[in-house]
Amino acid sequence: MNPDLLVDRFIHYLMVEKGLSGNTIESYSMDLSRYVDFLKKTGINSISKDDTAHILRHLIELRKEGLNTRSRARHLVTIRGFYRFLVQEKIIEHDPAHMVDLPKLGLKLPDVLSVEDIEQLLKVPDLTTPRGQRDSAMLELLYAAGLRVSELVQLKIQDINLEAGFVRVFGKGSKERIVPVGNFAREKVADYIKHGRPYLLKTIPSQYLFVARAGKPMTRQGFWKLVKKYAKIAGISKTITPHSFRHSFASHLLEAGADLRSVQLMLGHEDISTTQIYTHVAREHLQQLHEKYHPRG
């Protein structure tokens, strides 16, 4: 069947059925256009269950063109999703991309703060001020639920249930997930809602949980400036990125014995392979402990 028509069907499926974001759709489209162009250039005008060699040659071609390992891995993830869809739709019998391995990424590990770093940072906001109460609640919730910063700043007041101890999050592609929230974060958020939030809003109504000026939600950039300020006060010299709390949340859970599937659900990762990088972080941590404390480490 015509590759262009199949790609169109797949993109339509991602938009309508999966509800992926515009940026993700655009990325998938560009990757698949490049793959289809490669097929046409090599005289292949149809998609089949026997395309494994073509996929491998395409990846080799991308490497020759100078694409780095991470970009080539992303291309393969896109191609895998495309062929899985074709099998699901019974257009082809089996998936030729299934046996193609991802290029080795050289383990570019996420930035992870230690438990001690996190605890030090969480102590910094001034709880005697409304802004300090807000900032403390945001930091606690960010770490407690492993949220993306963009998810945190977009939370509505009705998205958090302090009594039951969970937060409802709308992640990438507007996918909803429910994440448990521990006692520390619940207490800080409850205190902010009772004292800090009314002061910041004054008489202005707002649906957002964390508010800045005029009842508007805090921006991602505005919040990140605060995090960097607090990290400096806490004396944390490590580089902190917008995902540091999320990475730390996942790594600390796995180090403490949480199973990968549960962490995947809490992070909202569609593919468990995205979550698996944290298992390396956890293993590395355990290896360091073994070397440090075992008599023959």
pLDDT tens per residue, range 164-218: 999 998 877 777 888 889 899 999 999 999 999 999 998 899 999 999 988 888 8
Cβ–Cβ under 8 Å, residues 260 and 251: no
What's the rounded Cα separation, in Å, for the pair 179 and 165? 9
CATH no., domain 3-88: 1.10.150.130
What is the band of 249 on the pLDDT scale with cuts at 50, 70, 90? Answer: confident
Residue span(s) of the chain under CATH 1.10.443.10 come to 115-290
Helix (H) or strand (E) holding 168: strand 166-170
CATH class of the domain whose range is 115-290: mainly alpha
Active site positions, annotated: 148, 172, 243, 246, 269, 278
Q: Please indicate, yes or no, whether the overall pTM of this predicted structure exceeds 0.75.
A: no
Find the mean pLDDT for residues 274-289: 57
Give the percent of the chain with pLDDT over 90: 44
CB within 8 Å of 285: residues ≥ 6 apart: 251, 255
**Residue 37 CB-half CA count within 13 A:** 8
Find the mean pLDDT for residues 55-60: 88
Residue span(s) of the chain under CATH 1.10.150.130 come to 3-88
Looking at residue 124, what is its pLDDT?
97
Q: What is the pLDDT of residues 88-124, one digit of tens each?
A: 999 998 888 887 776 655 445 556 788 899 999 999 9
Report how far apart the first and last C-alpha atoms of the chain are (Å, whole number). Answer: 58
What's the rounded Cα separation, in Å, for the pair 139 and 125? 9
> Is the confidence at residue 285, as pLDDT, over 60?
no
DSSP for residue 46:
S
Structure token pair of residue 154: 């977009």
Residue entry with tokens 């698949």: 32
